Amino acid sequence: MNHQKSQALDAIDRNRELLCRVSDQLWEHPEVGFHEKYAAELYCDTLEALGFQVERNLAGIPTAFSGTYGNDGPVIGFLGEFDALPGLSQVEAALEKIPAQESAPGHGCGHNLLGVGSLAAAVAVKQYLQDNHLPGTVVFFGCPAEEGGSGKGFMARSGVFQQVDIAFSWHPGEVNSVSTEGTMSNYQICYHFRGVSAHAAMSPEQGRSALDALELMNIGVQFLREHVPTDTRIHYAITDTGGSAPGTVQPYAQAVYLLRAVHPQQLIDLYDRVNKIARGAAMMTDTTVEIEFIKACSNVVINTELNRLMQKNLEQVPPAGFDEADLEQARRYQQTFPKGKTYYDSLVDEVEDPQMREELQARADEPIHRVVMPLARERQGFVSSDVGDVSWNCPVAQINAATMPAGVPMHSWQMVAVGKTPMAKKGMLYAAKVMAASAIDALEDPEIIRRAKEELLRRTGGKTYQPPIPAEIQPKIPRDLFQTP
């Protein structure tokens, strides 16, 4: 690692206390998507104090913002998330599930670390530009509502990422690896059925059951499953049954559907067919249906050029430095959940070199996975992420960094409980350095950015980004939905 780069990375260590404090404060004030008022204010104040120019209310979203340093040269973006999950409140470092506040949210996806890791990377790149008097711009993007809100999708719809040359992000987790999994596009829709209430025994002929309509819609969709591409997904939840009295004809019922497909066009087709079924169900029952589009996100366009760059830096940057106390704490958490097949195990299965696979298998029981995983081959995953919408606008790469005990499930109370521990913050700062080092490499060698952009163009077939969220849809997560983790 050259002198300029290591000097820039030192800025992360110099600001360690501040960065860790911000992460802890976010952990202590968990807020759900689009309600991250405390987080947005804390970030904007911190960015200003660190010498970034802050733009609030980005894309008209009160909790979206950016912090910029520099005004020319290549634009490097870092994506920060900070929303928490409903119902996951948890006492810090406890070894059993104890809510800190009943039914309050908690940081079950580690986004208190995610945002600050990206901020730390931006701080190092700013230092690099300053020290070396080089052209270049670094932007930290404060992206709200990753969980169920597609905040970045709304930001992308407004053109927020259009001027970015390349962007980086990461996710806290149990391994150190480059993310090579494609994600799915998705749509989330709420179907509201409305009928007429009546006494179900005395005057059933006067009732029109919204619940019947909803059930018929679900049955229709079960038949549809045979006639859609095999790699699409149709999930649903009944979010309002209309009441609990069987003697009353239910005048209202509500279901939320989550549709996924790899290609955006498949999703448009699927959406159209599910809507036809919903309308058909309403017609059969003489009720009405209101189709409320909630949000959408695009599939992630993988960028091998940037993935290789991130892999190199995962291997070159000094490791997180977990000590015996971290390992001991991790072991205690491992007693709190049954050992099943983990994400680490699935990555090891993918390793082609038999010797390396064996070496990694031998380390499967380590309390924290300190090893850097080899660059995995590209494969199609089935989850979705709003990073997809950024990746259609500029080349993006993401890493995972070990911040928690091996095998801890995502979105669990254990993940919340360890979110303030030294192990979590060590992993966060390591991820920050890997992202910053990759950005600095790209600033030093413009060919990297050129090749990454060329790859994006090739993979999208030259198609420009089509926002999947219709222009009239406002960012929201309805309060009566998603109240359970």
Smallest gap from Cβ 403 to Zn ion, in A, equals: 12
Smallest gap from Cβ 150 to Zn ion, in A, equals: 13
What's 468's DSSP letter? S
Closest by CA position to 109, among listed 453, 469, 419: 419
484: exposed, middle or buried (Cβ count in 10 Å: 0-12, 13-18, 19+) = exposed
Q: Which is nearer to Zn ion, 285 or 403 (CB)?
A: 403
DSSP 276-344: HHHHHHHHHHT-EEEEEEEEEEPPP---HHHHHHHHHHHHHSPP----HHHHHHHHHHHTTS-----HH
Residues 282-301 that bind Zn ion (CB under 5 A): none
Q: Provide CB contacts within 8 A for 22, sequence distance 6+.
A: 42, 43, 46, 116, 119
Smallest gap from Cβ 81 to Zn ion, in A, equals: 6
What's 60's DSSP letter? G
Contact map string, positions 100 to 139, toward Zn ion, x by CB under 5 A: ---------x------------------------------
Residue 178 structure tokens: 């480059």
Q: Which is nearer to Zn ion, 173 or 264 (CB)?
A: 173
Closest by CA position to 120, among listed 75, 192, 168, 163: 168
Which residues are 235's β-sheet partners?
258
Place of tokens 């986004």: 111
Contact map string, positions 66 to 105, toward Zn ion, x by CB under 5 A: ----------------------------------------
Q: Which is nearer to Zn ion, 107 or 192 (CB)?
A: 107
Smallest gap from Cβ 284 to Zn ion, in A, equals: 38
What is the C-alpha separation between 359 and 341, in angstroms, rounded?
17
Local structure of 374: helix, strand or coil = coil
Smallest gap from Cβ 404 to Zn ion, in A, equals: 13
Residue number closest to Zn ion, CB atom: 109
Q: Provide CB contacts within 8 A for 250, sequence distance 6+.
A: 195, 197, 209, 210, 211, 241, 242, 243
Smallest gap from Cβ 433 to Zn ion, in A, equals: 20
**Helix or strand run (H / E) with residue 77:** strand 75-81
Q: Provide CB contacts within 8 A for 332, sequence distance 6+.
A: 95
Q: Which is nearer to Zn ion, 47 or 84 (CB)?
A: 84
Amino acid at 416: V
**Helix or strand run (H / E) with residue 166:** strand 166-173
Q: Which is nearer to Zn ion, 109 or 481 (CB)?
A: 109
What's 100's DSSP letter? S
What is the C-alpha separation between 148 and 189, in angstroms, rounded?
11
Q: Which is nearer to Zn ion, 5 or 171 (CB)?
A: 171
Smallest gap from Cβ 147 to Zn ion, in A, equals: 5
Smallest gap from Cβ 292 to Zn ion, in A, equals: 23
Q: Which is nearer to Zn ion, 107 or 370 (CB)?
A: 107
Closest by CA position to 374, among listed 183, 182, 168, 175: 175
What is the C-alpha separation between 36 and 33, in angstroms, rounded?
6
Smallest gap from Cβ 128 to Zn ion, in A, equals: 28
Q: Which is nearer to Zn ion, 263 or 411 (CB)?
A: 411
Contact map string, positions 370 to 399, toward Zn ion, x by CB under 5 A: ------------------------------
Q: Which is nearer to Zn ion, 109 or 255 (CB)?
A: 109
Smallest gap from Cβ 26 to Zn ion, in A, equals: 13
How many chain residues interact with Zn ion (CB under 5 A)? 1
Q: Which is nearer to Zn ion, 170 or 191 (CB)?
A: 170
Q: Which is nearer to Zn ion, 147 or 215 (CB)?
A: 147
Residue 139 structure tokens: 């932007």
Helix axes 37-49, 16-28, angle to 10 degrees: 170
Q: Which is nearer to Zn ion, 9 or 387 (CB)?
A: 387
Residue 349 structure tokens: 């299965």
Smallest gap from Cβ 173 to Zn ion, in A, equals: 9
Interface with Zn ion (CB under 5 A): 109
